[in-house]
Each structure stands twice: as C-alpha cells, then as structure tokens.
Amino acid sequence: MRDWKSLATIRDDAETLLELAEEAEDEDTAREAEVQVRRLEKLLHALETHRLMPEEADANDAILEINPGAGGTDAMDWAEMLLRMYTRWAENEGFKAELLDRQYAEEAGIKSAALAIRGPYAYGYLQAETGVHRLVRMSPFDQARRRHTAFAAVAAYPDVDDDIEIDLNPADIEMQTMRASGAGGQHVNTTDSAVRLIHHPTGLTVVCRAERSQHKNRETALKMLRAKLYQQELQKRIDAQAEANAKKKKIDFGSQIRSYVLQPYQQVKDLRTGHTAGDVTRVLDGDLTPFMESWLVGRADGTLEEKQA
C-alpha cells in the first residue's frame, strides 16, 4: 500500500511540474518533471516485478553463498568476481550488502563467501541466481594465455528470524490429569496433580508429574510442549534445506545456468531463459536485474520449467 501511495505522489508531482513548465515555459521545471517521470516509470516497473514474487519469503532479505568449482585458481578468482558482482548489484539497486564470511584462497580469489543483502524483495530477485555460473576467458594465471573455463556455484536463501514463533491455541490442547505415583507411605500423592497434554494438530504428547501442584505441572508441561513443537518446526526447516542441497548439481561442465564469455567473443547468456547481454563488463559491474526479471517472468508463465525439463 505504501508503494502505491508513493506512486500516486510522484505522479501528482510530475503532473504539477509539467503544468508549471508549460505555463511558465521554464526549461528547468521541465527537466524536474522529466526526473519525476523517470522515477515514476522505475517505481511502476518495480511494482510490476513484485507481482511476480507471490511467496511470503520473496519479500525477505537474502543470504548469498558463493563457492568455486572446477577450474582451479581461475575458479577461485571467478568466485571473487561473482562476490564483487553481487555487491555492486546490491549497491545499484539500493540494497545494503553485508559481508558475513570470506575465506581467501592461497594464490588468488576465494574459497568461499557469504553475503547478506538486505532490502525489500532481495530474496525475490536473488533466488534467480541459484545455480552454477560458468566463465570463459584468457586465464591471467596461465603463462601461455590460453583460454580457460571456470565454474562457481551461487546459492540464495531467504533470511528468516531465528526465533520460531510457536502459537499454542488452547482449543488444540487436551489436558488430562492423573494421580502422580510415589514411594508410598506419607509421600503418596492423593491428588490428581500429574498432567498430560495432547496437542491434537500434531499428535504430540507431554506428561509432567514433577510437582505436587497441578498448576505448576501444567505450566511445565506447556513449556515442554512448546519445546517439542519448536524442535518439530526446526526439523522441517532442516529437512527442507537438505532437500534443496540434494538437488544441487556438481559445479562443473554441463550444470551451469548462465555462461559469461569474455573470449573469443563477449556475451552473457542465461541458459534457462535465453536472455543475453553483449556488454559483459556492465553485467559484471552489477547489471543483473534484467536476467532476474526474465527468470521471474519465465517462472510465472511456465516457460522456465519447459526450458529446464
């Protein structure tokens, strides 16, 4: 809603400036109006792109991991080039890039890196980058200056809060009471102080009989139930990540999603969407949004899956 209000405000400002420029025949005011129109076009385009990001996690910040693959020193250097490329993309798009980890290689480049990119829909855009990226160039590490191919893998994840909220609906919980067992004699508990809680949506059950007070046992049982539900939710996330990792391909020939060719010609081509760019330097300087938008459109209209099949 805030974005749409901003869109209306910029539109109104542009209309007002255009009217003033026409009435006063003022070129400076006309140039101001042009600036507002360009802002309007950029924001409208961004809002249209956001419609291609329907998942809840799409609006989140993103964590980007970069690892070199086949190609030796060239691959490690390529991984560092990708780190710079995504950092520049974030700066160009108004996102904040925060380096979380970087392991330098012995000769050149990096062994691994992790980058947090913060801003609205950062993950929505960067999910398009997950996969193997291939570089073809004359190697600066080859004395004979031969052409080499290097690979690096990029993985994007939504940045989520570590605190998993557990909302317990009292209507979902059945409480049963029972007499706590004891050693006999004066220590026998003659009241139904032990508590069993059954969480019907998940089937989880907890029992607490540590205290003589039913109220205290119920409080402890609720804490136990929350802990079990927390662990269950955490395991779901771990299983989902394991499934995603299992789908990762080898960082080598035949597994790339995009090729960056510097020699013998210059071209960047996304093999999933067919989107290409001839200015490789511009792409390596962070001009990646057209590739991301092409991927989002392909996912939305189903052509992306057809190309990947």
Residue 261: CATH number of its domain: 3.30.70.1660
Torsion sign, CA atoms 132, 134, 140, 141:
positive
Q: Check whether residue 135 and residue 222 sit in a common domain.
A: no
Q: Look at residue 240 and tell me whether its pLDDT is greater than 50.
A: yes
Residues 77 and 195 in one domain: no
Q: Are residues 83 and 204 in the same domain?
A: no
- Is pLDDT at 213 greater than 80 in this prediction? yes
88-146 pLDDT, tens per residue?
999 999 999 988 888 899 899 999 888 889 999 999 999 999 999 999 999 998 888 88
Which residue in 47, 35, 56 sits closest to 7, CA to CA?
A: 47
Per-residue confidence (pLDDT) for residue 257, from 0 to 100:
93
33 and 180 assigned to the same domain: no
User: In the prediction, which pLDDT does 241 show?
Assistant: 63
Q: Is the pLDDT of residue 40 over 80?
A: no
Q: Which of 30-39, 134-143, 190-199 has the lowest mean pLDDT?
A: 30-39
157 shares its domain with 77 = yes
pLDDT score recorded for residue 214: 85
pLDDT band at 308, cuts 50/70/90? very low
Report for 44-48, 216-220, 231-235, 281-285: range of highest mean pLDDT: 281-285
Tell whether 145 and 86 lie within a shared domain: yes
Which SS3 state, helix, strand or coil, does residue 33 take?
helix
63 and 209 in a single domain? The answer is no
pLDDT at 269 over 90: yes
pLDDT on residue 137:
95
155 shares a domain with 83: yes
Give the whole-angstrom CA distance, residue 222 versus residue 174. Answer: 11
Residues 288 and 159 in one domain: yes
Per the structure block, which two tokens stand in for 148? 């080499």
How far is it, in rounded angstroms, from Cα 128 to Cα 257? 10
Say whether both 62 and 127 belong to one domain.
Answer: yes
Q: Which pLDDT score, from 0 to 100, does residue 309 have?
A: 41
- Reported as a pLDDT band with limits 50, 70 and 90, residue 49 is low
CA distances from 202 to 40, 147, 164, 226 (A): 49, 58, 17, 12
Structure pTM? 0.64
Kindly tell me if the per-residue pLDDT of 26 is higher than 80: no
- The answer on 214 and 192 residing in a single domain is yes
Tell me, yes or no, whether 254 and 142 share the same domain: yes
Burial grade of 235 (CB within 10 A; 0-12, 13-18, 19 or more): exposed
What pLDDT does residue 183 have?
A: 45
> What average pLDDT does the chain have?
81
DSSP alpha helix (H) spans, 51-115: 73-92
> Domain of 24?
2-50
pLDDT at residue 195 tops 60: yes
Residue range 142-171: average pLDDT? 81
The pLDDT, as a whole number, for residue 53 is 83
Q: In the chain, how many domains are there?
A: 3
